[in-house]
Amino acid sequence: MERRRRTDRGWTCWLAMRAGELWDFVDKRDIDKHVVSMAVFAGTVTVMRWAMAFATEALAAGTETFEAAAVIAAVLAPYMAMQAAALKWYFETRSA
């Protein structure tokens, strides 16, 4: 039995109820977790493409191999830490 207050009328109430129903649909199917996982993967692909393009250009320009590797590591290390945290969260929520 659904209970409503006298003030629960109008389009704002309707919109809030529909938004709640949409979120329940998303939450029951773990859609939010899958979207986060896909976004992290897409970011990984983007960052790795950048790293490969940077390495190619840097080495063609005569940059030392160690310097190019240091720049790539400085960019990739924080992203990989974020990726590890996101994947840990994803698999913990899947097993719960």
Helices 65-95 and 31-60, axial angle in degrees (round to 10): 170
Dump pLDDT digits (tens) for 25-40.
988 888 888 888 899 9
Higher model confidence: residue 54 or residue 3? 54
Q: What local confidence, expressed as pLDDT, does residue 46 receive?
A: 94
Nearest Cα to Cα of residue 90 among 36, 45, 44: 36
Instruction: Provide the pLDDT confidence category of residue 49 given band limits of 50, 70 and 90.
Output: very high
Instruction: Provide the pLDDT confidence category of residue 9 given band limits of 50, 70 and 90.
Output: confident
Q: What local confidence, expressed as pLDDT, does residue 3 receive?
A: 67
CB 51 within 8 A of CB 76: yes
Q: Say yes or no to pLDDT of 69 above 70.
A: yes
Distance in angstroms (rounded) separating the CA atoms of residues 72 and 42: 18
Q: What's the angle, vertex CA 32, arms to CA 46 and CA 22, rounded to 5?
A: 135
